[in-house]
Amino acid sequence: MRERMKKGFSLVILSAVLFGTMPFFAKQIYGMGGNSLTLCFHRFCLSIPFLYLIVRYKYKISLKITGREFRKILVLSLCCAGTPLLLFQSYRYIPSGMATTIHFVYPILVLLGCVVFYRERLTVKKSVCAALCLLGILFFYTPGESGSPAGVALAFASGVTYALYVLYYSKSGLAEMNTFKLSFYLSLVSSAGILAGAVLSGKIVYEMPPQAWLLSVLFAFIVSVVATVSFQAGTARIGPEKSSMLSTFEPLTSIAAGVVLFSEPVTPRTAFGIACILCAVILLAYGDRSSNKLTFTDETVH
């Protein structure tokens, strides 16, 4: 049990670190002519071949699913595709730092969702960890940044859709499906939906230099294959509440990348925010070690 929890923590933190590289890839691809809609489409579409090969030739399992599973995947795909679209769209109206701060309200929403909809007990430890995570994220916000109500609403909506994604994945039974197989269908359905919207809007970009395409493939592999699968496998082990709080490692990675790659300064506010999140993670890791009630099948990634 303890080893399973440790692996769950490690997988979720790994996913958060990899998700934290998204701003770096986005900045580079945007500079080569891409846009947010194109980036979202490539994130899902270009990951499909990788996921197919892994499912068919590494795990050697069937891609067959039931109608009931497909309906659940459709629901989960709405949240999976909707989150980056809403978040990237919010950048048009408000600074990215403000958007990220608002988006990371989702750990609190996950905690509330577990308590309200699934009647799970709200412990003191969970409350303190959630408060520390929220406080840490708030310290990443730069005072004086202004933005329109539309941008705030879009960023908040992205937090809501991601909270729904985490909750629905954990409670729908999809956590028992092989995570690469599930990610294959999520990428397939999400890319189809985004492509339909992109074609209708006429905003998808087809002409990009080879470097942008290479970065797009790497971006899809890191985010939609490694990071997404790691998050799903970790959540199946430690539950939605802990995984959502550990995901606050994502902005920490973005900050670290900014310091290393772009020589961005670390302010006292940022340092305090990092300290709050690290305290929450330590409390989660070394607090009570009660077991999670989720069960697993042999097809879940180990």
Q: Tell me: the pLDDT tens digits for 223-243?
A: 999 999 999 999 999 988 889
**Does the pLDDT at position 147 exceed 80?**
no
Task: Report the pLDDT value the prediction gives residue 16, as an integer from 0 to 100.
Answer: 92
Note the pLDDT tens digit of each residue in 100-132. Answer: 778 888 888 998 899 888 888 888 888 888 898
Range 251-262 average pLDDT: 79
How many CA atoms lie within 13 Å of 7's alpha carbon, on the beta-carbon side? 11
Cα–Cα distance between 300 and 291 in angstroms, integer?
18
Residue 69 · residue 213 · CB < 8 Å: no
Task: Report the pLDDT value the prediction gives residue 217, as an integer from 0 to 100.
Answer: 96
Residue 276 · residue 139 · CB < 8 Å: yes
Residue 79 · residue 165 · CB < 8 Å: yes
Candidates 182, 162, 21; CA nearest to 102 is: 162
Helices (H) and strands (E) in the chain, counts: 15, 0
Residue type, 221: F
Note the pLDDT tens digit of each residue in 203-213. Answer: 888 889 999 99
Residue type, 237: R
Task: Report the pLDDT value the prediction gives residue 91, as an integer from 0 to 100.
Answer: 79
**Does the pLDDT at position 180 exceed 60?**
yes
**Does the pLDDT at position 301 exceed 50?**
no
- Contacts of 127 by beta carbon, 8 Å cutoff, 6+ apart: none
pTM of the model: 0.84
Task: Report the pLDDT value the prediction gives residue 76, as an integer from 0 to 100.
Answer: 97
Task: Report the pLDDT value the prediction gives residue 69, as an integer from 0 to 100.
Answer: 96
**Does the pLDDT at position 292 exceed 80?**
no
Range 282-297 average pLDDT: 53
Task: Report the pLDDT value the prediction gives residue 293, as an integer from 0 to 100.
Answer: 42
Placement of tokens 């406080």 in the chain: 135
- Between 250 and 159, the more confident residue is 159
Least confident of 27-36, 171-180, 216-225: 27-36
